[in-house]
């Protein structure tokens, strides 16, 4: 019998037209099965899959997260040149990054105001604006 979490994962994949392979379904269930938005790294999702008894390689997790991004199911948020987080919340919103903890959380969108953006180069269109506010404990 399929659990509610697995049903959510299946519907999430179907919405993007992705075939529900065993690996995709197990990772989708971990990402959206409880109905909450989350920020994950490939490594943290791999650890969660392992803890849930889902045999999936780290390479498969990376490839699956890329496929989810390309399908428009998640957004990749780069916090530096070597670390990316994947966000299941798709609306435009800023983030707070706690440097000591390596933790990314949503920031209140109503408190952010971007007054002006630079002119875009000819032939370019704005895709999105990512705002990551870096924090450390005082």
pLDDT per position as a tens digit, 9-45: 999 999 999 999 999 999 999 999 999 999 999 999 9
pLDDT for 1 equals 53
CB 104 within 8 A of CB 74: no
pLDDT score of 83 more than 60? yes
Query: Confidence band (pLDDT; 50, 70, 90) for 73?
Result: very high
- Enter the pTM of the model: 0.89
- 77 pLDDT band, cuts 50/70/90, is very high
b/e map of 34-63 (b: 16 or more CB within 10 Å)? eeeebbbbbebbbebbeeeebebeeebbee
pLDDT at 35: 92
| pLDDT recorded at residue 53 | 93
Residue pair 61/68 in contact by the 8 Å Cβ criterion = no
């Amino acid at each position: 019998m399929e659990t509610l979490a697995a049903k959510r994962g299946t519907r999430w994949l179907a919405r993007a037209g992705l075939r529900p392979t065993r690996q995709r379904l197990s990772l989708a269930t971990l990402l959206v099965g409880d109905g909450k938005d989350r920020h994950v790294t490939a490594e943290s999702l791999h650890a969660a899959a392992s803890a849930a008894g889902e045999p999936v390689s780290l390479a498969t997790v990376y490839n699956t997260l890329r496929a989810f991004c390309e399908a428009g199911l998640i957004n990749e948020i780069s916090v530096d040149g070597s670390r990316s987080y994947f966000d299941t919340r798709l609306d435009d919103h800023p983030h707070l990054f706690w440097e000591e903890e390596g933790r990314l959380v949503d920031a209140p969108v109503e408190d952010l105001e971007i007054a002006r953006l630079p002119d875009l180069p000819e032939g370019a269109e704005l895709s999105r604006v990512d705002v990551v506010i870096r924090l450390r404990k005082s």
